Amino acid sequence: MQRLRHLLGTESLTAEQITFLLDEAKPFQEFQRHPLKKLATLRGKTVALAFFEPSTRTRISFATSASRLGADTMNLQAETSSLKKGESLLDTVRTLDAMKPDCIAMRHSSSGAAAFVASHLDIPVINAGDGMHEHPTQALLDALTIRDRRGSLAGLNVTIVGDILHSRVARSNLHLLAKFGCRFTLCGPAMWLPREFEGLLGDIPVRRTADIDEALQGADVIIVLRVQQERMHEPALPLDEYILLYQLTAERLRRAREGALVLHPGPMIRGLEIDPAVADGPQSCVLEQVTNGLAIRMALLFLMIGTGTESGAPKGTSHAAD
């Protein structure tokens, strides 16, 4: 498999590449259970983290993944950086690049920001979320979670509920899962179900409905999204109404296939888009998703900036202290 130069989205990945990445993540899943979580695989390498938007799990997950592989991190604090003084995105990332990191994981509020940076830097760029466009590592960790629980990604009925319009997670998941023949139902208030999605996947039909009971019928996987108020001029409908119409409750979940999986990329607003009983219930994969994020990001960093001479991830579970 040819080395990935950048990871900007899942749209351009093939099913074969995705399967390869998920397989490569397997030993790193095992590794998270090890009492000593430190490898020397990427010792001497540096991962730049440039998060121009708030982030908890994605940023910490990249930092922890780099550290567990033995790499150092360079951390841009967007709130306190020169961006606040008017420096451009390009000047900021060129400044980071001049300190010679081996790759950059970046998040930005503009769709296309990661591709723009990738076209100007020589080091690999990993998109950790660009505006409303893509969030490929989230889709990969979701796919790993689903594949583990279901055994395969092939032909699943996937229902996505909520604020789909503003969701890069929805786009990346659609692109990825479509490659495995999944069927999609998008559910939410009409203004959050963009028509654009109908043509997004070429010939693959994407069903849209404002009726959650209909959307959940026969679902194997349900992806619940956060209401992204920070990306809206005004909410599509009052939040109490949203709760009544779209909250995933235990009762509604019964309409889905038995044992249907419930995923949420986080941050999760309990009591708004999801009932706590579902969030903490046996069908919820929320915390598994977080743990799998480490495995996916470790595998990616290993594959993208490893020199190829290390003993490797799988075998590279030889410890730094060894």
Regarding 129 and contact with ligand NCD (CB under 6 A), the answer is yes
Asked about 33 being catalytic, the answer comes back as: no
Chain position carrying tokens 């899962």:
177
d(C-alpha 233, C-alpha 81), whole Å? 27
185 binds ligand NCD (CB under 6 A): no
Establish whether 135 is a catalytic residue.
yes
226 belongs to the catalytic site: no
**Is 58 labeled as catalytic in the residue annotation?**
yes
Residue 221: phi and psi, rounded to 5, are -135, 135
The nearest distance, CB 155 to ligand NCD, in angstroms, is: 26
**Residue 9 near ligand NCD by CB under 6 A:** no
Burial class (CB in 10 A: 0-12, 13-18, 19+), 51: buried
- Taking the complex as a whole, the smallest distance from the CB of residue 192 to ligand NCD amounts, in Å, to 13
168 interacts with ligand NCD by CB under 6 A: yes
Active-site pick, 41, 58, 137, 185: 58
How near is the Cβ of 271 to ligand NCD at its closest, in Å?
16
Other C-beta atoms within 10 Å of 256: how many?
A: 22
Separation CA 268–CA 286 (nearest Å): 9
Residue recorded with tokens 């998040």: 107
Cβ within 8 Å of residue 105, ≥6 positions away? 47, 48, 49, 50, 62, 125, 126, 128
Site for ligand NCD in 76-95 (CB under 6 A): none
**Nearest distance, CB of residue 247 and ligand NCD, angstroms:** 16
Q: Does 64 bind ligand NCD (CB under 6 A)?
A: no
Token couple for 171? 């786009």
Least distance (Å) from ligand NCD to the CB of residue 317?
Answer: 26
Give the CA dihedral 232, 238, 240, 244, nearest 10 degrees. Answer: -90
User: Applying CB under 6 A, does 59 fall inside the site for ligand NCD?
Assistant: no
| x/- map, 281-320, ligand NCD, by CB under 6 A | ----------------------------------------
Question: Is 255 a binder of ligand NCD (CB under 6 A)?
Answer: no
Cβ-proximal residues to 178 (8 Å cutoff; 6+ apart), any chain: 184, 201, 204
Using the rule CB under 6 A, is 175 a contact of ligand NCD?
no
Catalytic residues, which ones?
Answer: 57-58, 85, 107, 135
Binding residues for ligand NCD (CB under 6 A)? 57-58, 129, 135, 138, 168-169, 226, 228, 265-266
